[in-house]
Amino acid sequence: MAISNFKKKIAVFLSGEGSNLKNLYKFSKTKRSKFTIHLVISNKKNAKGILFSKSKKIKSYSIGKKMSVFEKNSLLLIREENIDIICLAGFMRILSKEFVQKCKIPIINIHPSLLPKYKGLHTHARAIKNKDQFSGCTAHHVTSKLDAGKIILQKKVKILKKDNEITLSKKILKVEHQIYPIALNKIC
């Protein structure tokens, strides 16, 4: 029996720099990757992540700021391109319940906290304020409830007394880059 070389087609949603996109793209070029970045969609016209994806000849779209327009057009693109999985990578908007239900493919996210702790924004500030010993990141399935989907993978980071939001953010981003491609490979 022949082993299939089929790689899952991934769409990445982003709003900014695209560091997780760059990392997923780099991993996708390795032999152990079970996926390929096929489509990148941003809700921001000048997102640096879009410039990166265009430089790599990945189909890339910036779709208006209005969420209803973004979701409608994204769904059309996802179906047109036969996308298997959506990865949220620094996508700073909340997808509607209707979008999640209509999508009918897995949507995953990387969140900068050890879920279920610190859903939403300002995770680093909240962890420091509460004098937590650890923070980290979580790759999880997206559901209609904010940061509440099934956890795929988590990794802890020790919070040092000298840490502030910026230093903790940088440490956690490094860990995000470690676990997100592994989590995506796992669900492929």
**Token representation of residue 20:** 């997780």
Please name the residues in contact with 14: beta carbons below 8 A apart, sequence gap of 6 or more: 20, 21, 40, 41, 42, 47, 49, 50, 88, 89, 90, 91
Fill in the amino acid letter for 44.
K
Are β-strands 35-42 and 107-111 bridged in parallel, bridged antiparallel, or unpaired? unpaired
Q: CA 120 → CA 48, 141, 174, distances in Å?
A: 23, 15, 20
Which of 38, 111, 124, 177 is catalytic? The answer is: 111
Fill in the amino acid letter for 59.
K
* Cα angle value 138/79/40 (rounded, 5°): 50
Catalytic: 38? no
Neighbours of 142 (CB within 10 A): 24
The Cα–Cα gap between 88 and 81 comes to 17
State the catalytic residues: 111
